Amino acid sequence: MAGANARRFFVGGNWKMNYSQAILEKVNDALGKTKDAEADIVCAPPALFIKDFVSSKPSHVQVAAQNCYHAKEGAFTGEISPEMLKEAGCTWVILGHSERRTLFNEDDEFLKKKIDYVLNKTDINVIACIGETLQERESGKTNEVVERQVKAYQEKIANNQYDRIVIAYEPVWAIGTGKVATPQQAQEVHDHLRKFIEKNTNGDIAKKVRIIYGGSVTGASCKELAQQADIDGFLVGGASLKPEFEQICKARQN
């Protein structure tokens, strides 16, 4: 299996429901210092402020949406289509984040519809999130849960579409809690996922697909996580709004 350095590092910043002009200026200042980072950097502001970010961000940074619906248009109050996101300047969308799954009851069947639409009706790329709860981990069901979630996505991903996919493993118990999976815990799951993906596709795809880690990643925890063979980057929450995001983007080279 190819080592981590064979895959380009990827860092996503999920701003969640946080925004102000001061935050935008602070984030853009930090992002300006990441131009020499050996990484793809993608930030996801709240939908209302995507255009603000597109017009002010450094040119090397890409833009994601935090969510989308599986239709171009129609009577879907409160939803946003992938086509609208593209027009606003997005090239990525986050799907299946644990907060969407737990707070808004998005299940695997619903997420299959979303990833199917995005990949086959648009050219938007996908950060596909998976992860287990604390109860599932303590019950020894981590591998079972992440396999089920990945398999649901894979049912709608053609082999030639994996270059448009980043898998984000985010243990639910480590999101916004300050808890971080140890580098060894994270690497074990990433390694298992890569082998599972190979089983359902082929060795070449498994070597190339990027699997990133999310869950209270900080400037303090990023360096050791980034050295693990199967951790290809991060999906960062709160720390993506702080100056330490620069350090996280450069975790591999530092």
pLDDT over 80 at 179, yes or no: no
Could you tell me if 198 and 154 are in contact, meaning their C-beta atoms sit under 8 angstroms apart?
Answer: no
Residue 197 tokens, joined: 């993906």
Q: Is-catalytic flag, 170? A: yes
Q: Please give the Cα distance from 206 to 89 (Å, whole number).
A: 30
SS3 59: coil
Q: What is the pLDDT of residues 213-226, one digit of tens each?
A: 998 899 999 999 99
The single-letter code of the amino acid at 14 is N
| Percentage with pLDDT > 70 across the chain | 98
Average pLDDT of the chain is 95
Annotated catalytic residue, options 132, 147, 170, 244: 170
Token pair, residue 5, equals 């350095």
Q: What's the token pair of residue 128? A: 């596909």
Residue 81 — pLDDT band, cuts 50, 70, 90?
very high
Do 39 and 250 meet the contact criterion of CB atoms below 8 Å apart? yes
Kindly name the residue from 97, 132, 147, 190 that is annotated as catalytic.
97
pLDDT tens sequence across 11-49: 999 999 999 999 999 999 999 999 999 999 999 999 999
Domains of the chain: 4-249 (3.20.20.70)
